[in-house]
Structure 1
Amino acid sequence: MLRIIITSLFISSVICANNKPTIGILTNPSDMKDYDKSLYSYFPSSYVKWIEQAGARVIPIHWDSSYDEITVILSQINGVLFTGGDADLYLNNTQPGFTFNKFTDTASFIFQKVIQFNKAGKFYPLLGICQGFQLINYIASSYYEVLTRMTDDLGRQRLLEIVPEEDSYVLNSIDKSTLEYLKNVDGPYYSHNWGVVQQTYEKSYSLGAFFKITGYGRDGVNLKYIAICEGREVPIYGYQFHPEKHPFEWITKATHDVQHITYSQELAMAFIAMARKNDNFISDEELSQYIIYNYKQVNRMHVPNTSFSQVYLFDRNRNETRTDQQQLGIQWTIKYFRKYK
């Protein structure tokens, strides 16, 4: 269904393509030891570069902003990205000083708004990478504990196993020779201790109702996990792997050969191609207030065992209150997915 929607919209791209797409990237609570999460949030600079090389601009969406602030931003941008990171996702996990998991609650609010936009006829993509992939699965599951422990997949490239009977916008975006390379020679780069397995889809009906599985990977003990999931009815999708690291991270084990650079660029272009179908507009004046260039980049290459050469750092100067959760909270999500049962 996702492929059909996207294909039909792509046919009219010459007429209605948005040539100034803007992507909102959700910030993460800091997991860096030298930047306390009570004071800072961040995301790696590689995601910004990955989006920009495909022809889009980036605005940060602060995870501790109010829903009103986020709604204003969502109404002006053309797509959303949830990045990798190391945040607590489960709503019953509390962070220091918080009475609920505001990060996941904010992501859930964005997820619900994206569903609303698409159901109202506005094509609106949301992509989750690594932690972001896990996050959209957690939300779509109606808050089932979706994560399974992985073995030896922290900084590894694994062959990509595709699901041939499922039509896949993601896999169709990669040229055939490159896809064969990822399947048979040297696959995508993973950096995760946790993943989502197919058995979880079987236990949580909401997941299978919302997503189809189009790709798998295997960890160091041959445990099969989901590598790619794609929304059946709305353009919400995710990868457990990291396409952005091949061209833009030089301190990891991600290879920089032509095949991996090619697939990375093709997936970025595919995401932005979807964002171009969205006709939201932001003025140059407003863009100058929100755009990523207003924020500080920090060199991380000197930090031992880091995965990021450079990050964008954001001061925590916002307030999070329980009233935000009460505005939307878990019940809306559960109510939405119950209709499939």
Structure 2
Amino acid sequence: MLHHQPRTGGAGSMLSNIWIFFLIALTKGQLAADAFSTTVPLLLPSETGSFVGATQCASLNPNLNHRPVIGILSHPGDGASGRIQNSTNASYIAASYVKFVEAAGARVIPLIYNEPKEILSDKLNLVDGVIFTGGSAKTGPYFEVAKSIFKIILRKNDAGDTFPLLAICLGFELVTMMVSKDNDILEKFNARNQASTLQFAKNSDINGTVFQRFPPDLLRRLSTECLVVQNHMYGISPGKFIKNKSLSGFFKILTTSVDQDSKVYVSTVQANKYPVAAVQWHPEKNAFEWGLSMTPHSEAAIQVTQHVANFFVGQARKSMNRPPAQKVLENLIYNHSPTYSGKAGTGFDEVYIFT
């Protein structure tokens, strides 16, 4: 008689082995978890006094304005040589200036240069700082309005309130003319659509200037890499700047740059006694404009935009101005819509047009 030996290694045996392995792994995992829980207790912040402070936010500094508003002066025209709006009353603000301000945590009220003086005056009482933009208008009503706003800016600061001005490109030129009291002081330079470096003046102190927040490496790269864009035909040489006592007494030179004909001009100045900075270059374009082929868009170039915007808006936060909130809302640039102009090859991607 043949006796059959019991079979081994069948499906039942395999399932048994799998269960054994699973139970061993589960037991080891539980032991490891028990060991971890013994040595590293996981507690919610509310379960231990040592973490309570982390859930409490410090109160905001009451001496700072945490809802700053910046006034941007509009420029005559539509920013596109009449291709978008050819009304003689039209003025515009490139949207890049608005985005520049918003990126640093502030809002914008447009200061429309040809609106009634009383409206413009009311708007200046709603804002905590002003930007003079780039452009080409150096004469007529526009210059006179910019001049009157500049006087108000100085008067507000003299009265003890912090009221900053950032004058960009044309703004630099206008302020140079105003402070020097010489409307013919500017010289011709060849710096249209040019990426450039910034050469710092010897022993220049950057505290309290647009460069204050720049890390050392970025400051170094500004002088060795083309991280800013110039787009102007006028400027002032260092020699002529220093020779004019009104200019050299009011401003200190921070940087110079070289145009495409190797001529040196002043590219950044800071007022000695006022929160007034003027830059011949365009800090707003690196992050927000694509119309000029030479505008740098590298990570370092974007940091230049961010640091300048943060410094300027940081100064505006020191303003003691606390206007009625509803009045601010009624005048914000959000009451207007930007126009896409990039396809028309205007040099601006978007503009706000006022008529």
Give 1:33's match in structure 2, choosing from 77, 82, 101: 82
| 1:69 alignment partner in structure 2 | 119
Which residue of the other structure, out of 171, 187, 194, is the alignment partner of 1:156? 194
Q: What whole-Å deviation, never above 9, does each CA across 1:225-260 have from its counterpart, x for those lacking one?
A: 011011111111111111111111123221211101
Indicate conservation of the 8 Å contact 2:96/2:284, yes or no.
yes
The letter of the residue matching 1:163 is A
Specify the code of the residue in structure 1 equivalent to 2:96. Answer: S
* Corresponding residue for residue 218 of structure 1: 258
Contact map agreement 1:29 1:37 (CA 8 A) in 2 = no
Aligned to 2:324: 283
Which residue identity is paired with 1:296?
S
Q: Which residue of 1 aligns with 2:351?
A: 311
Between the aligned partners of 1:65 and 1:263, the Cα distance in structure 2 is 33
Kept in 2, the 8 Å contact 1:251–1:301? The answer is yes
TM-score, length-normalised on structure 1?
0.81
Instruction: Please point out which of 203, 215, 219 is paired with 1:175.
Output: 215
2:227–2:300 CA contact under 8 A, matched in 1: no
Cα offset for 1:121?
Answer: 0.7
Report the counterpart of residue 245 of structure 2 in structure 1: 205
Query: What's the % identity of the aligned pairs?
Result: 30
Question: CA RMSD of the aligned region, Å?
Answer: 1.5
Which AA in structure 2 matches 1:160?
Answer: L
Which residue in 2 is equivalent to 1:112? 151
Structure possessing the higher radius of gyration over alpha carbons: 2
Distance between the aligned counterparts of 2:235 and 2:148, measured in 1? 23
- Contact 1:295–1:312 (Cα < 8 Å) also in 2: yes
Is the Cα–Cα contact under 8 Å of residues 258 and 264 in structure 2 kept in the other structure? Answer: yes
- For residue 299 of structure 1, what is the aligned residue in structure 2? 340
Q: Contact (CA 8 Å) 2:227, 2:296: kept in 1 or not?
A: no
CA contact (8 A) 1:298 1:311 kept: yes
Give yes or no for contact 1:144–1:204 (8 Å, CA) kept in 2: no
Q: CA deviation at 1:185?
A: 2.1
Mean Cα displacement is larger for which, 281-290 or 57-66? 281-290
Among 268, 282, 296, the residue aligned to 1:228: 268
How much does 1:48 deviate? 0.1
Offset at residue 68 of structure 1 (A) = 2.5
Residue number in structure 2 paired with 1:335? none
- SS, match of residue 131 in structure 2: strand
Equivalent-residue separation in structure 1 for 2:119 and 2:145 (angstroms): 11
CA distance in 1, matches of 2:305, 2:125: 28
Alignment of 1:41-80 (within 5 A): 41-80=91-130
Q: CA deviation at 1:132?
A: 0.9
Counterpart amino acid of residue 151 in structure 2: Q
Q: Which runs of 5+ in 2 are unaligned?
A: 1-59
Cα distance, 1:147 vs structure 2: 1.6
Amino acid at match of 1:52: E
Shift of 1:15: 4.2
Stretches of structure 1 that go unaligned for 5 or more consecutive residues are 1-12, 91-100, 316-341
Among 145, 167, 175, the residue aligned to 1:136:
175
Query: Secondary structure in 1 aligned to 2:261?
Result: coil
Q: Residues 182-219 of structure 1: CA distance to partner in whole angstroms, max 9, x if unpaired?
A: 11122311111111222332443211111111111000
Note the C-alpha offset of 1:307.
Answer: 1.5
Q: Does the Cα contact within 8 Å between 1:243 and 1:264 map onto a contact in 2?
A: yes
Q: State which drifts further: 223-232 or 70-79.
A: 70-79
The separation in 2 between residues aligned to 1:285 and 1:172, in whole angstroms, is 34
Asked if the contact 1:211/1:231 (under 8 Å) is kept, the reply is yes
- Runs of 4+ in structure 1 over 3 Å off: none
Name the structure, 1 or 2, with higher relative contact order (CA <8 Å, separation 6+). Answer: 1
